[in-house]
Amino acid sequence: MQEMIDIYDRDRQLTGRTIPRGGAFLHEGEYMLYVLTLIEDGQGRFLITQRSQDKHWAAGWWEVTGGGVRAGESSAEAVRREVPEEVGLPVGADVPEPIYWYENVDLKRGDNYFVDIYHLHLDFSPEDVRLLDGEAVDFRLATWDEIGELARQGTFLHYERLRQALEAEGVL
């Protein structure tokens, strides 16, 4: 079954329209919503995953957990779904507010979206992590400096936006 997404206007308000996510082409003033989740352990390391080699975009790159918000979901509900799905960690009912959000407009490709960035502090060990088949092939716990090195090598997604989020939160 095709995953459906809500369409938002430029003020981040729901328009009441939903469309299939696959092949969606969004016009001026139309947006979808994504979430990114920085998951930090008790030692100040971040959980990052390596994308599967068969991904059509950024195959083999490292990233944080996240994904598209489904129709009818809030971004917090998407975090509560995505984190257990992708890395097998329970999030709990109380997801904090996003620490940052940004907007992307690409009218040529119809790729307009908002991204809410969350920062979760979870009590877990590497043995607790369970990767979703087809999504990721590996994971690691990395310091922010190690993530920065992956970004300098050109193999880490969303580094600048995540850095901006942590700066806005006062962490960096």
pLDDT value, residue 135: 84
pLDDT at 91: 96
- The residue length of the chain stands at 172
Question: Can you give the pLDDT at residue 1?
Answer: 79
- Taking CA atoms, 89 is separated from 10, 27, 121, 144, in Å, by 33, 36, 12, 21
Alpha carbon separation from 41 to 87, 125, 126, 128 (Å, rounded):
13, 8, 10, 12
Write down the pTM of the prediction.
0.96
Question: 10 Å Cβ neighbour count for 112?
Answer: 22
Query: What pLDDT sits at residue 56?
Result: 83
Looking up residue 17, the CATH number of its domain turns out to be 3.90.79.10
Residue 133's pLDDT is what?
81
pLDDT recorded at residue 55: 87
Distance CA 73, CA 14 (A): 11
On whether the CB atoms of residues 31 and 17 are closer than 8 A, the answer is no
Structural domain range at position 149: 4-169
Domain count, the chain: 1
As averages over each run of 10 residues, the pLDDT of the chain (172 residues) reads 94 97 93 98 97 90 97 98 96 95 97 98 97 91 98 97 98 94
Closest by CA to 168, choosing from 33, 18, 17, 38, is 38
